[in-house]
Structure 1
């Protein structure tokens, strides 16, 4: 016997969570595109469609205040942001490429310094992942060790079944707690047949071989050939579930203002620009090389994880058609050739 929930009850679960003052975020049709957005009701939930942008904005906002300052009567008062106001949040309907990204990012945000803004949002979130039933030619999750039914990162995992219901699997205590609190919406029964995955994605890559090639090819004509195309717009980084570069700026005047964290990208020409004017990554081939090295070598060296979930968003968003999966496949073949 399996734990099941109908689509009607899944939407009713959204309604119940919203009624409990929980922030519910999920895929929602916004104009002509699907985005992760707050859901006001279960009917807002759009299923079986990969949102245009990733879900990382839920834990790592595009821009957020980290402190405010104000000068009064000759004294400067600095106030921290009250992180206790971050809402309890349920992310619902995240495919494995999105559900799995926070568990990758956890490493860097709790490494030598605990980023409490990120970590508090993570503590207050529950992720309801869902298995993919289709993928396009930009998908390559299997190439980086994930799968359309990978449960990693989910607290509760849904598998679409023929007929419209979902098999529910609690993965963590958070997931089980959500089920227990709304037990009336779930039932036990025969799971039936899972919806078959319509696979158009890239096959597996040999990541250890790719990393080995990267170890010995810091200088290689490949980087220049890519740089001849790349325009350094940063779209690939901003739309990626795993990229996490940011900058911190003070905005205001000497009497009052706000310190803010903003997304940044290693593909930008000024990302590594020193105050002296020296820029160690002064041309685009060095910047794109860093992107590949960071995702498939440096992060793995440091944390034992690949900084990519194979969602394919960077491929779809690139204005000049750079395909990271093709680049990895090229490196894979070079590695096999020795």
Structure 2
């Protein structure tokens, strides 16, 4: 029997969890924007559209301290930050393009080195995904193998119903546990799903694109695109799947902290060596790496694409570079 929840009870679920001490993160109005932010009450939940920034900050903060140091008479005291101190978290209202990025990131953060800061947040986070009923010209999830109702990465998935409320589908054990713990807020029942969004463009031949990239490390296309690229990093910082970071010590001789902060392969000094040599010293090489990483290198390594088609990079690019249009152009070329 299908399970449903009303809009009122969805917000009551947030109130209940917040009172119990759970950190609840969801779309929230912030001036003229909607952002994934901690919610203090169910009434703050804003499901009107895709938040401007992605949900990856829930597990991968923009900046985080991983240890502190302080000079003492006997020497230097170094204190590690305990990854286990992160709270139980519910991420609610995650759109499919955001939820699907979580398992994509899992691969790199648990590969040759296990990043316990990221992995502990993932372990302690339950994701409630939400199907999309509208899309704009920048949305292209269907082009990269996803859909407005894709459940990948979600523990519990909500589908809006025509007459209000949501159908609830438990995808994982976490989702089943959430339903069981708050059974009084859910009800047996069914309903007609609201019409889903129809992103454009449609599906592309991603294997064909990967094949072209295999043989076009050097190609005039990179120069053509990068003539406009400002190297601002907005695309990477808004992307739900980009994950580059830097680690620096901040402070002075007496005390300070080692911190992990986001970085971006589009920045001019991203690959700058201590010797002064920079193997990607011009923007065409940096933009090529962005496309290669998302649609070839990550696929080669983890059999997953590093893009979920959210379109944030398209909306935010100050010079109008459209990654979906780039993929369409490559898709039209074929493997030579």
Task: Note if contact 2:141-2:199 (Cα within 8 Å) is conserved in structure 1.
Answer: no
CA contact (8 A) 2:149 2:196 kept: no
Secondary structure of the equivalent of 2:334?
Answer: helix
Shift of 1:74: 3.4
Q: Does 1:243 align with 2:256?
A: no
> Which residue number in structure 2 is paired with residue 230 of structure 1?
229
What CA distance in whole angstroms lies between the structure 2 residues aligned with 1:214 and 1:121? 34
Q: Aligned to 2:151, what secondary structure does the other structure show?
A: coil
CA distance in 2, matches of 1:294, 1:285: 14
TM-score by length of 2: 0.99
Alpha-carbon displacement from aligned partner over 1:135-160 (angstroms, at most 9, x marks no partner): 11100001101000000100000000
Say whether the 8 Å CA contact 1:48–1:133 is kept in structure 2.
Answer: no
CA distance in 1, matches of 2:27, 2:271: 35
Moved over 6 A (4+): none
Task: Using the TM superposition, name which of 272-281 and 78-87 deviates more.
Answer: 78-87
Q: What aligned pairs does 1:200-279 form with structure 2 within 5 A after superposition? A: 200-279=199-278
Mapped partners of 1:271, 1:165: distance in 2: 46
Who is 1:27 aligned against? 27
Deviation, structure 1 residue 199: 1.8
Residues 31-68 of structure 1 show CA distances to partners (whole Å, capped at 9, x for unaligned) of 11100011111110011310000000110000000001
> Does the CA contact (< 8 Å) of 1:251 and 1:259 recur in 2?
yes
1:210 Cα deviation from its structure 2 partner: 0.3
8 A contact 1:18–1:24 mirrored in 2: yes
- Describe the SS at the equivalent of 1:222: helix
> What does residue 286 of structure 2 align with?
287
* CA RMSD across the alignment: 0.8
Q: Which residue of 2 aligns with 1:152?
A: 152
Partner of 2:73: 73
- Aligned runs of 1:106-255 on 2, under 5 Å? 106-189=106-189, 191-255=190-254
Give 1:200 shift.
4.2
SS in structure 2 of the partner of residue 242 of structure 1: coil
Distance of 1:50 and 1:227 partners within structure 2: 28
The Cα offsets for residues 105-151 of structure 1, whole Å up to 9 and x where unpaired, read as 00000000000000000010000001000111100001101000000
In 2, the alpha carbon distance for the partners of 1:224 and 1:335 equals 19
Further displaced range: 164-173 or 195-204: 195-204
SS at match of 1:136: coil
1:84 and 2:84 aligned: yes
Which 5+ residue runs of structure 2 have no aligned equivalent?
none
Cα distance in 2, alignment partners of residues 304 and 99 from structure 1? 18
Contact 1:48 1:132 in 2 (8 A): no
C-alpha separation in 1, matches of 2:296 and 2:64: 29
In structure 2, how many angstroms separate the alpha carbons of the residues matched to 1:92 and 1:202? 27
Deviation at 1:335, TM superposition (A): 1.2
Q: Aligned pair count?
A: 336
Deviation at 1:71, TM superposition (A): 1.2
Ranges in structure 1 where 5+ consecutive residues have no aligned partner: none
